[in-house]
Amino acid sequence: MTDIEDTLACYLEETRSLIFTIKKSPDNFLLNLRLLSTTKDNSHLLGYETIFKLYKGIEDIYKALIDDKLIFSKYLKNLLDIVCDKILSCCDLLETTPEELSQVDVKPYLLYCDKAAAGEIFDPKHLLKLVKTNKNNSKRKTKANVFTKEEPEEKNQILQISSREITKNVNIHEEMIARTYIINNQVSMLKTAISNNDMHAIKEAYKLIAGDTQNLQNTLRMAHENLLGLIQDDIFLQKHQDLQGVFVTANDKKFLIQSEYIFDIICESPLNYEVVQNQKIVNYVLESETGNEEDSETEQVSVYSLSSLFPGQKAKNVNALDTILIVDYQTQRIGIIVDSVQKFVSVIKKNMPPAFRNFPGVTGLVFDEKYDMIPILHIPEIMKRFRSLRGYDVKKFEAFTKKHINKILIVDDSEITRQIVHAILVSNGYTVDEAVDGIDAMEKLKHKQFDLIVTDDNMPRMNGSILLDNIKRMENYKKVPVVVMADSPLEKADAFVSKADFSREILIKTIKRMLNDEK
């Protein structure tokens, strides 16, 4: 075995062992990350960039998990599993046809890893489908290599068949199965008749078998035609896409929410909401499968009003209870308050005009009973919008409700001056910190954001003038007023209070003017 072969064998063993560890316990973040880092670097050194990129993708996910930016979910586990499988298949390729490794397309895997690491909502099923398609394609390619003949690409067709059609076909097939039993029975009767040499019985059995065989053939033909009909209908269905959901209204506007996202529909009195950080929360009771009340669980679900996302006036609520749709997507569950829920419908979906092909908010249109076009809301996007709305709401709420207390830094080398100014400012409702000179002040400014600085000029280590220069160079302090309280004014200062004729009133008046806090 040459050195290169030896290295490759070691590398493959190491990689497979690591993948096995990750697949066995994907939630052992620290261990997996440590192992990953070594093997990832080896992939890079050996020039296996494809595997290196996949490792990097997994590493990013683990880093995000360790930093608590992500929660380990079954979706994440599935994704890790898929990416690990891909690494294993790359290892197999290294052993058989290493020259093909660089041609392996790992972009979809990396995209999903990125999505996961960024905390985005993703569905590994789509990646899984892609993996399956790729596997099929590679199998076909292998076949093609053996027979040195390209086979036409086979499309993985999905049939959509309505349940009524399925029931009809199942009934036909059950009838055919029943007929085969009857025919079997008649064949037994025929055997008996033959052994008894009973010509009359033989003739009767023969007639029955001939009749029932004919019937079976007719039914079989009918079933076959039905099946072909369904395949033809599928072209129509693929174009129009039948879907189910509920019509809801918000701000007098009507929307469709697909039933696949709806976990439950409940009514709740607005009085029963809890409010945590300006976020309405409802205590949603998850009934147990046994129906036993004692086994039921209560889950706190954040609720949002759909009306808040759209312009217009919210409909006047004549009901004492809010209607809430409990919707699920991946691991997230929220409640959406709607003005009303209309009937559950099974409708034909129309695609949006082509310009909307990447538009995330609406997935299509359906017609209601008035033949109005109703947009289908894309729930993952709605959830995203609610999350961003929440942060904004909290800020708005805080801005309106919480009185901002201005923080002032006093910079003076005289302890007595600091104490006097400190007492004056605190008694006027300000929060005060102290610094003994410019250097001390700079340190404090780095760690805390102040709304105003009062500084002396003549100080050891760093005087007021240099401090002022430094402050005005700091991005977050460019607009923060600096009041110089010294014997003489400084050029760059925003205000000056003379120490020589210091008065409490002048200081407070100056500070209030600087903070636009004059009432």
* Given 255, 273, 304, 430, the residue binding other proteins (CB under 8 A): 255
Q: Around 20, how many Cα atoms within 13 Å sit in the side-chain half-sphere?
A: 7
- Please give the structure tokens belonging to residue 209: 């078998």
Rounded to a whole number of angstroms, the minimum distance from the CB of residue 76 to other proteins is 25
Closest CB to other proteins among 62 and 255? 255
Q: Least distance from C-beta 127 to other proteins, angstroms?
A: 19
Q: Where are the alpha helices (DSSP H) in 148-286?
A: 163-196, 199-240
Size of the site for other proteins (CB under 8 A): 25
Look at residues 60, 53, 63 and name the one whose alpha carbon lies nearest to residue 107: 53
Sign of the alpha-carbon dihedral angle for 380, 381, 382, 385? positive
CA nearest neighbour of 256 among 382, 386, 384: 382
124/116 Cα distance (integer angstroms):
10
User: Cα–Cα distances in Å, from 205 out to 219, 235, 244, 410?
Assistant: 21, 46, 52, 113
Q: In angstroms, what is the minimal distance from the CB of 236 to other proteins? A: 14
Q: How far is the CB of 352 from other proteins (least distance, A)?
A: 7
- Measured from the CB atom, the residue of 249 and 302 that comes closer to other proteins is 249
Please say which residue, 379 or 445, places its beta carbon nearer to other proteins.
Answer: 379
The least distance separating other proteins from the CB of residue 511, rounded to whole angstroms, comes to 43
**What is the x/- site pattern for other proteins, positions 352-391, by CB under 8 A?**
xxxxxxxxxxx--x-----xxxxx-x---x---x------
Q: Considering the complex, state which of residue 48 and residue 386 has its C-beta at the smaller distance from other proteins.
A: 386
Kindly list the distances between the CA atom of residue 9 and the CA atoms of 2, 82, 278, 321, 497, in Å, as whole numbers in the listed order.
10, 23, 59, 68, 78
Q: Does 107 bind other proteins (CB under 8 A)?
A: no
Q: Write the interaction track for other proteins spanning residues 300-339; mark x where CB under 8 A is met and - where it is not.
A: ---------xx-----------------------------
The candidate with the shortest Cα–Cα distance to 457, out of 505, 493, 494, is 493
Least separation in angstroms between CB 357 and other proteins: 6
Q: What is the dihedral of CA 125, 130, 136, 138, to 10 degrees?
A: -140
Measured from the CB atom, is 270 or 360 closer to other proteins? 360
> What would the two tokens of residue 56 be?
């990097």
Give the residue with the Cβ less far from other proteins, 371 or 392.
371
Instruction: Tell me how far apart the alpha carbons of residues 514 and 482 are, in angstroms, rounded to a whole number.
Output: 9
Q: Which of 221, 206, 210, 208 is nearest to 175 (CA)?
A: 221
SS3 assignment, position 151: coil
- Which residue number, 83 or 336, has a Cβ lying nearer to other proteins? 336
- Between the two ends of the chain, the Cα-to-Cα distance in Å is 88
Figure out which of the listed residues 253, 407, 444, 512 binds other proteins, where binding follows CB under 8 A: 253
When binding is defined by CB under 8 A, the residue of 16, 350, 472, 512 that contacts other proteins is 350
Q: Nearest distance from residue 354's CB to other proteins, in Å?
A: 5
Residues 6+ positions from 208 with CB-CB distance below 8 Å: 186, 189
Least Å from the CB of residue 251 to other proteins:
9
The minimum distance between CB 364 and other proteins, in angstroms, equals 9
| Spatial CB neighbours of 265, under 8 Å, sequence gap ≥ 6 | 246, 323, 324, 325, 326, 341
Residue 186 CB neighbour total at 10 angstroms: 20
Q: 3-class SS at 284?
A: strand
Span interacting with other proteins, options 84-92, 319-327, 349-357, 423-431, rule CB under 8 A: 349-357
Nearer to other proteins, 234 or 361 (CB): 361
3-class DSSP state of 372 = coil
For other proteins, the closer of residues 346 and 427 by Cβ is 346
Interface residue list for other proteins (CB under 8 A): 253, 255, 309-310, 350, 352-362, 365, 371-375, 377, 381, 385
